[in-house]
């Protein structure tokens, strides 16, 4: 007869080797773990449940059913409906219920959970993180009531410790990723701010020179009896100088010092109001689709700047998209580890951006356009978004298009 203790020890060793890392997610570990536990203890159901809503709700993160060899998730239990069970999780190393429907710790679950699933016996071990109950590993028997042995109880408690450790590993990896992302973001912002300040300084000095040359050239036109050929040359120079002046003005935008934040605006209102203008921008049979989904989200960015962001991004997307292509503009909100954001997406199905170019697309005068473009549009968008406390993410695959997502911090009123 097989030794249960040896089987338990072998299973625990396999579980311990299922550590979460950069390649194996917590969900994948849960899948392996629940299936292994069910096989080791000959159980129909093994579930990992996590507490949410400040401990008021228990949600099934993953449940394995042995008879159908399938996983599921999402079922919830309100802890207020089973206060004895909630209290037992706080005070017991493991809840051992041979007769789960009559056991004082679990009988309050009979109508809502045990009977609907045919569960007669339960062996539940709390998941402890930092000394607090964070969830539970549920070992559920279907069929005639089952007597849990001391070895099985010890095994269940050890399983919970291993799962809790895996959750800590996952939390550490996520925190490290978030820190790395924040560090990269800060380094990029410092680099772009330095470029912006340099560009603005150059633009200031260059603008003074352009103004002098423009004035002198205009004086040429006032010369009496000026030959028409000379006058035409002067007008061409003046036109070029005025275009140069516009470029220097745009460069100066990159280093402008932020003002006091403006009154908040509803993102969807501004984007929606620009729908007709955006629809008139295509020149090669392209289509611009707008999908508003930010549900009244407000941002602290003045209307002119917000429209500037939108028009620059759409113009850039149109340049990258062939005849008959589609530009998709959408808005949404997003919760991240670093706050709540209103997000403006501008996606195209154009040529995409190759890996070498991606780190440079927000730099002044960098452009992937062969025949046109001064390379300031995205640099200005980046500067405006940065001054508003936001950031931009890029998702692009050569040959399959590009999506730029502008994240702006949600504005709170009142």
- Kindly indicate the confidence band of residue 251, based on its pLDDT and cuts at 50, 70 and 90: low
Residues 10 and 148 in one domain: yes
Which domain covers residue 345, as residue numbers?
A: 260-414
Q: Are residues 25 and 128 in the same domain?
A: yes
pTM value > 0.75? no
pLDDT at site 258 = 53
Judge whether residue 22 has pLDDT over 60: no
> Which of 94-108, 120-134, 136-150, 241-255 is predicted with the least confidence, judged by mean pLDDT?
241-255
d(CA 145, CA 301): 64
Percent of the chain surpassing pLDDT 70: 85
User: Strand ranges (DSSP E) for 99-202?
Assistant: 119-129, 132-142
Over range 226-233, report the average pLDDT.
Answer: 86
Strand bridging mode 119-129 / 95-97: antiparallel
Quote the Cα angle for 346-382-287, to 5°.
20
Say if residue 18's pLDDT is above 90: no
Q: From residue 367, how far is each of 54, 188, 195, 313, 401 by CA, in Å?
A: 50, 18, 16, 13, 16
Query: Which pLDDT value is given to residue 388?
Result: 84
The reply to whether 110 falls in a domain is yes
* Domains contained in the chain, number: 2
In a domain, 220, yes or no: no
Q: How far apart are CA 57 and CA 252, in angstroms?
A: 54
Has residue 192 got a pLDDT over 80?
Answer: no
Task: Concatenate the DSSP letters of all residues of 26-95 into one string.
Answer: HHHHHHHHHHHHHHHHT-SEEEEEEEETTTTEEEEEEEEETTTTEEE---EEEGGG-HHHHHHHHH-SSE
> Would you state the pLDDT for residue 1?
45
Do 276 and 148 share a structural domain? Answer: no
- SS3 at position 62: strand
Q: Which of 142, 176, 210 is the last residue of a domain?
A: 176
Do 167 and 289 share a domain, yes or no? Answer: no
Taking a C-beta distance cutoff of 8 angstroms, is the pair 379, 371 a contact?
Answer: no
Distance CA 352, CA 253 (A): 27
Asked whether 140 and 115 are in contact (CB, 8 A), the reply is: no
Between helix 26-41 and helix 4-16 the angle, nearest 10°, is 170
- Answer with the residue of higher pLDDT: 245 or 221: 221
Q: How far apart are CA 213 and CA 207, in angstroms?
A: 10
Among 127, 148, 176, residue at a domain's last position: 176
User: Looking at the domain assignment, is residue 317 inside a domain?
Assistant: yes
Query: Looking at the structure, do residues 382 and 284 belong to the same domain, yes or no?
Result: yes
Closest CA to 300 of 394, 409, 393, 403: 409
Same domain for 165 and 17: yes
Q: Which of 124, 145, 176 is the last residue of a domain?
A: 176
* pLDDT recorded at residue 17: 73
User: For tokens 């539940």, what's the residue?
Assistant: 124
Q: Are residues 313 and 413 in the same domain?
A: yes
CATH of the domain at 346: 3.30.565.10
The model's pLDDT over 53-75, given as tens digits with 9 standing for 90+, comes to 888 999 999 999 999 999 999 99
User: What does the pLDDT read at residue 201?
Assistant: 64
With the CA atoms of 298, 304, 307 and 313 taken in that order, what torsion angle do they form, in degrees rounded to the nearest 10? Answer: -110
User: Is 327 domain-assigned?
Assistant: yes
Quote the mean pLDDT of the chain: 83
Same domain as 145, residue 42: yes
- Is residue 147 packed enough to be buried (19+ CB in 10 Å), middle (13-18) or exposed (0-12)? exposed
Instruction: Answer yes or no: is 382 within a domain.
Output: yes
Asked whether residue 300 falls in the same domain as residue 408, the answer is yes
Question: Residue 199: what pLDDT?
Answer: 64
Residue 243 lies in a domain: no
Read off the DSSP letter of residue 296.
Answer: T
Domain-located, residue 212: no
CA distance 368 to 398: 13
Q: Are residues 393 and 283 in the same domain?
A: yes
Band of pLDDT at residue 182, cut at 50, 70 and 90:
confident
Q: Is residue 302 part of a domain?
A: yes
């Amino acid at each position: 007869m097989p030794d249960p203790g040896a089987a338990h020890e072998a299973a625990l060793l396999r579980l311990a080797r299922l550590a979460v890392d950069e390649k194996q997610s917590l969900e994948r570990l849960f899948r392996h773990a629940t299936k292994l536990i069910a096989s080791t203890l000959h159980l129909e159901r093994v579930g990992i449940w996590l507490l949410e809503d400040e401990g008021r709700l228990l949600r099934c993160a993953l449940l394995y059913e042995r008879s159908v060899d399938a996983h599921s998730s999402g079922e919830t239990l309100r802890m207020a409906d089973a206060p004895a069970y909630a209290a037992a999780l706080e005070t017991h190393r493991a809840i051992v219920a041979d007769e789960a429907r009559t056991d004082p710790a679990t009988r309050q679950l009979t109508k809502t959970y045990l009977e609907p699933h045919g569960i007669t016996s339960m062996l539940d071990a709390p998941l402890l993180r930092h000394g607090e109950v964070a969830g539970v590993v549920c070992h559920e028997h279907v069929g005639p009531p089952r007597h849990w042995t001391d070895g099985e109880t010890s095994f269940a408690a050890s399983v919970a410790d291993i799962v809790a450790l895996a959750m800590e590993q996952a939390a550490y990896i996520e925190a490290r990723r978030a820190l790395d992302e924040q560090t990269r973001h800060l380094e990029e912002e410092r680099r772009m701010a330095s470029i912006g300040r340099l560009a603005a300084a150059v633009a200031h000095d260059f603008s003074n020179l352009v103004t002098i040359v423009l004035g002198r050239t205009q004086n040429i036109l006032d010369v009496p009896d000026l030959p028409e050929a000379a006058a035409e040359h002067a007008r061409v120079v003046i036109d070029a100088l005025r275009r140069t002046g516009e470029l220097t003005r745009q460069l100066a935008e990159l280093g402008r010092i932020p003002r006091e934040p403006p009154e908040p605006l509803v993102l969807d209102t501004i984007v929606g109001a620009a729908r007709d203008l955006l629809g008139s921008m295509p020149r090669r049979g392209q289509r611009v689709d707008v999908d508003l989904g930010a549900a009244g989200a407000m941002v602290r960015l003045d209307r002119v700047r917000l429209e500037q962001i939108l028009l620059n991004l759409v113009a850039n997307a149109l340049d990258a998209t062939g005849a008959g292509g589609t530009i998709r503009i959408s808005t949404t909100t997003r919760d991240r580890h670093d706050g709540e954001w209103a997000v403006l997406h501008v996606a195209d199905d154009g040529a995409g951006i190759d890996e070498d170019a991606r780190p440079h697309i927000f730099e002044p005068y960098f452009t992937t356009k062969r025949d046109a473009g001064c390379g300031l549009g995205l640099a200005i968008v980046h500067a405006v978004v940065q001054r508003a406390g936001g950031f931009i993410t890029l998702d692009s695959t050569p040959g399959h298009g590009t999506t730029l997502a502008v994240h702006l911090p949600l504005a709170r009123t009142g």
